[in-house]
Structure 1
Amino acid sequence: MTEQMTEQTTDAAVAETSAPAPAPAARSARRVLWAVARWTAAVVVCGGVGAGTAMGITALDRTDVPGLETESDGRWEYPALRLPALPVDRPRPFTEGNEGEVHHADVRELLLPAPAGATPDPKLNGGFVPTEAYLSLYGKDIRDDLRKSLADSTLRHIAARGWTTPDGTRTSIHLLRFSSVAYAEEYRVTALEAEGADGLKALPDGVEAFVPEGFADDIQVPETGAYAFREKEPYGPEQVRWAYVQAGDTLALITQTRAGGALAVPFQQTVTLQNQLLG
């Protein structure tokens, strides 16, 4: 009996010893699978956290994200601009059939609105103003000549708006509307452009010398023209920048005055936007 049990034990041992060992490749595959499983779980967790962070960042404004603040370039915040509705069967100023390039919309509705945070000028509130209010912008020595030119040029009316921004910049916009583009151009050339080398006859009150602003050449508004200038140094406690926009039957005068120097960026922005409204 003992010999029989010994033989069975020996046979089992031999069978176990003779059984093939697990292949190294199989063990390696199992290790890879376990590793993949662990990394998959980690990626799922991290991916969930990352996605939440990304969604949080994209939901914020750029200036709300630390390290991504965008410094202001000096532009003012104007409200959304829209062209006013036209009377029935009246064309835009630069369309076929409107030979006089007439703005049939109310010229007061073509004035650029004040930017956010500005204090409106109660005397230039977007309505019509007398001729003398416009002439007061120029030096006393030129006002009589301009007054006569306006009387001869079939001027219809003048609309104006003004404001002061928190940095002290005073802005005024005057829109002079004539009966046709021919009269508007005649007034601009005859009264405002001089025959001399300086190229300008009517200067703002207190300005003695000026420098043309080259940015006006870059304004791309079809059928209009922009002519911009700045007071030349030395200019005293305040500097003036001003521009004319010729758009069909309407001539715009935009001025900005600021102690220590009128800034270029808001001036260019204001001239460009007013030009677009007239074009």
Structure 2
Amino acid sequence: MTDHATPHAPADPFAEVSAETPAETPEEHEARLARRRARRGAAARWATATLVFALAGTGAALAVTAPERTDLPGLATPGDGRYTFPPLTLPPLPSGSSAPDRTGRNVLHTADLRYLLLPAPKEAGGTLTPALYPIPTAAATASPSASATPAPSPTASPSASASPSTAPSGQAPAEWVTCDAILAEQQDPAKLRELLLRDACRAATVREWTASDGTRTQIRLLRFGASFESWDVFSALRSDARSKALPGAKTTSHGVWDTVEGVHLDAQESSATGAKGTPTARIAYLGASDLVAVITMTNPDGVPAAAFRQVVTLQSDLLA
């Protein structure tokens, strides 16, 4: 009988081969710990540097954005002639009246006409304190010509009782003037005088100032009894009026302006230019419901376009 040897199982090629890890010497152990400490120190330094840069960037951003651009060296932009006005506020309305709207149900301005005029800017000695208006009373809000004859006259002047007992803080009220005061500024006042009589101008007021750049600004407001009456005068002014301040006047485009809804605008400028290369006079006619505004700005060196546009837009905001 032949003996058969017991077959041996093949060796597993994937079997884990165990080997004893040689023991570290004290020098190797100390070197390994030193490398670990170095890596941790480097990571801490990078984290600290990142935090410092983040804080520095945030501080720089705040330092740049907090002050006005014009206060930063190298970033100041040349002035374009715009003025600094106080925050605009609307005067209170008499008890029982509502603000004008654009639906046709209420189209008359019932507030004190003098407080619908744009205040003088800082550059003309004006204050930046917002106006605080007196509480309106029947005497203060009545039409200046209410005590006159039944047929309103453009020369009617306000009665003494038309002035509020106290003026608003931070802004002196504008002056009441006669409706025909505007005639003195016209080269041919006859037609306008006829319109003021026919359409029964009820009241008028004016504010004037001269800014530090030499630009003189005058704003007139005329009040009528109905919107169709004021429209007659507005149409005549923009098409036929020849102001003494604008010899050789020509209409200027205002299509790119942010015009105010509900306020009609016609802007004109003189053909003469000043040292700055801009017109020496600019004028704007505004029609807002029962009111007509005439804004005249003159300067022998030239009226800045930005200042003119700013004044016209802000005055329109008060009338809208």
TM-score by length of 2: 0.68
Alignment of 1:108 onto 2:114: yes
Superposed CA deviations along residues 105-137 of structure 1, whole A, max 9, x for unmatched, are: 1111100001103158xxx97121123421111
For residues 1-279 of structure 1, what are the structure 2 equivalents within 5 Å?
19-20=23-24, 22=28, 28-43=35-50, 56-57=63-64, 59-94=66-101, 96=103, 98-99=105-106, 101-118=107-124, 126-139=174-187, 142-189=188-235, 191-193=236-238, 200-205=239-244, 207-215=246-254, 218-233=257-272, 239-279=280-320
Question: How many percent of aligned residue pairs carry the same amino acid?
Answer: 35
Q: 1:105 to 1:70 in 2, by over 3 A?
A: same
Q: 1:72 to 1:96 in 2, by over 3 A?
A: same
Aligned partners of 1:125 and 1:160 also within 8 Å: no
Aligned partners of 1:231 and 1:240 also within 8 Å: yes
**1:57 deviation in Å?**
5.0
| Paired amino acid for 1:115 | P
For 1:77 and 1:130, locate their aligned partners in 2 and report how far apart those are by CA, in whole Å: 30
Q: Secondary structure at the match of 1:117?
A: helix
**1:176 deviation in Å?**
0.4
RMSD: 3.0
The structure, 1 or 2, with the larger RCO (C-alpha pairs under 8 Å, 6+ apart) is 1
**1:52 deviation in Å?**
5.4
For 2:48 and 2:318, locate their aligned partners in 1 and report how far apart those are by CA, in whole Å: 59
Q: Greater CA deviation, 52-61 or 251-260?
A: 52-61
| Paired amino acid for 1:89 | G
2:14 corresponds to: none
Superposed CA deviations along residues 230-274 of structure 1, whole A, max 9, x for unmatched, are: 0113689x8211010000000000000101222211011001110
| Structure number with higher helix proportion | 1
Q: Secondary structure at the match of 1:175?
A: strand
For 1:47 and 1:84, locate their aligned partners in 2 and report how far apart those are by CA, in whole Å: 49
| Paired amino acid for 1:230 | E
| Structure number with higher strand proportion | 1
Superposed CA deviations along residues 54-76 of structure 1, whole A, max 9, x for unmatched, are: 55555544333333334333210
Aligned partners of 2:274 and 2:300 also within 8 Å: no
**1:51 deviation in Å?**
5.5
Aligned partners of 1:149 and 1:187 also within 8 Å: yes
For 2:206 and 2:98, locate their aligned partners in 1 and report how far apart those are by CA, in whole Å: 24
For 2:61 and 2:258, locate their aligned partners in 1 and report how far apart those are by CA, in whole Å: 40
Q: Which runs of 5+ in 1 are unaligned?
A: 1-17, 194-199
For 1:42 and 1:206, locate their aligned partners in 2 and report how far apart those are by CA, in whole Å: 67
Q: 1:47 to 1:146 in 2, by over 3 A?
A: closer
Q: Secondary structure at the match of 1:218?
A: coil
For 2:253 and 2:40, locate their aligned partners in 1 and report how far apart those are by CA, in whole Å: 70
How many equivalent pairs are there?
A: 248
| Paired amino acid for 1:175 | L
TM-score by length of 1: 0.77
**1:40 deviation in Å?**
3.7
For 1:76 and 1:53, locate their aligned partners in 2 and report how far apart those are by CA, in whole Å: 30
Q: 1:167 to 1:103 in 2, by over 3 A?
A: same
For 1:46 and 1:260, locate their aligned partners in 2 and report how far apart those are by CA, in whole Å: 51
